[in-house]
Amino acid sequence: MMRLLQIEATKLFLNRTTRLLIACYFILISLIALIAAIKVEIGPIKFQLAKQGIFNFPYIWHFNTYIVGLMKIFFAIIIVAMASSEYNYKTLKQNLIDGLSKKEVLYSKVYTMIAFILASTLFTFIISLILGFSFSDYTELGIVFSEMEYFLAYAVKLFAFFSMCLFLGIWIKRAAFALGFLIVWQMIEGISFGLMKWKLSNIIPSLSAEQVFAFFPLNAMSNLIKEPLTRLSGVQNIANQVGESIDKDYGLDWGSVLIALLWAGIFLALTYRLLQKRDL
């Protein structure tokens, strides 16, 4: 395993663009701390975002994994490029001739993915811990280390998303087109959700659009960590005042975890199949 990781790390870190993207990603994660510095002062109203409870334990785990999760696209670029460049440089062919098996090719990419997910999760955890201890109203250990399942959700979310990116990179062989396809895919999911909402109840009355939509890959990934903003007490108060009540389950939905992992499995299996079947 270390050999495969070392091979892939050599390919990644000797490339200046990749190095830059990786650095960007981790810098962006750290920038989340800057939210703490947001202060609005309009006359008598003094407003500091960090004091509004977003950095309260355990809410911070939810908030930060969600925000950091949005930056996964940076990493997606690296994953797609790492897959498609092997075709562009024809180095996949050379690697196989040099004695890497097709399984090892896949494993080396997946191990690298997992290593980055672990690094990213750990990094997010540390940043959040520091921010939490600086701003949280509660610092009892029992509260600090509650709701840790958001990190599991975060890791699964990245794993499923990167598996999809790896598949697209290998399948389409061109980084730009693969990323373009990802955007198109997002739109397809959105449009089909709209269509289902419109027509599905007419066709199959017992099935709701949301139920079907939960099985779509990108939506399953986004369901893993639900948006945290409406969970803030301030936001909920405002909603109550305008007569809306938000009652949403913000916890981890194990069904979504299962669906996301299933998709990850499908994408990796398809990637392996492509590697096996294709003549180079």
Partner 1 sequence: MENTTPPILQLHRLDKKYGKIHAVNALSLTIEKGNVYGLLGPNGSGKSTTLGMVLNVINPSSGSFSWYGGSLDVHQALKRIGAIIERPNFYPYMTAAQNLKLVCRIKQCHFDEIEPALKLVGLWERRDSKFSTFSLGMKQRLAIASALVNQPELLILDEPANGLDPEGIHHIRELIGTIAQRGTTVLLASHLLDEVEKVCSHLIVLKNGVKYFEGEVAELTNTHGYFKLATANNSALISALKKMKLFSNITSQNGFVLAYPERPVAPETLNEKLATQQLFLSTLDYKNPSLEEQFLSLTQNTPQP
Q: Point out which residues bind partner 1 (CB under 8 A).
A: 3, 6-7, 10-11, 14-16, 89-91, 93-102, 104, 276-277, 279-280
CB of 82 to partner 1, least distance (A): 12
Indicate the length of the chain as a whole number.
280
Task: Tell me whether residue 104 or residue 253 sits nearer to partner 1 (CB atom).
Answer: 104
Q: Which string of DSSP letters, residue by residue, matches the chain?
A: -HHHHHHHHHHHHT-HHHHHHHHHHHHHHHGGGGGGG-EEEETTEEEEGGGGTTT-TTHHHHHHHHHHHTTHHHHHHHHHHHHHHHHHTTHHHHHHHHT--HHHHHHHHHHHHHHHHHHHHHHHHHHHHHHHHHH-S---HHHHTS-THHHHHHHHHHHHHHHHHHHHHHHH--HHHHHHHHHHHHHHHHHHHHHHHHHHHHH-TT--HHHHHTTSHHHHHHHHS---GGGSHHHHHHHHHTT-------S--HHHHHHHHHHHHHHHHHHHHHHHH---
Asked if 117 and 124 touch (Cβ cutoff 8 Å), the reply is: no
Task: Tell me whether residue 103 or residue 199 sits nearer to partner 1 (CB atom).
Answer: 103
Pairwise CA distance, residues 155 & 146, whole Å: 17
Task: Tell me whether residue 94 or residue 139 sits nearer to partner 1 (CB atom).
Answer: 94
CB of 21 to partner 1, least distance (A): 14
Task: Tell me whether residue 11 or residue 157 sits nearer to partner 1 (CB atom).
Answer: 11
Asked if 230 and 248 touch (Cβ cutoff 8 Å), the reply is: yes
Task: Tell me whether residue 103 or residue 248 sits nearer to partner 1 (CB atom).
Answer: 103
CB of 169 to partner 1, least distance (A): 16
CB of 102 to partner 1, least distance (A): 8
Pairwise CA distance, residues 212 & 146, whole Å: 31
Task: Tell me whether residue 41 or residue 279 sits nearer to partner 1 (CB atom).
Answer: 279
CB of 104 to partner 1, least distance (A): 7
Give me 228's structure tokens.
């945290």
CB of 10 to partner 1, least distance (A): 5
CB of 279 to partner 1, least distance (A): 5
Task: Tell me whether residue 14 or residue 37 sits nearer to partner 1 (CB atom).
Answer: 14
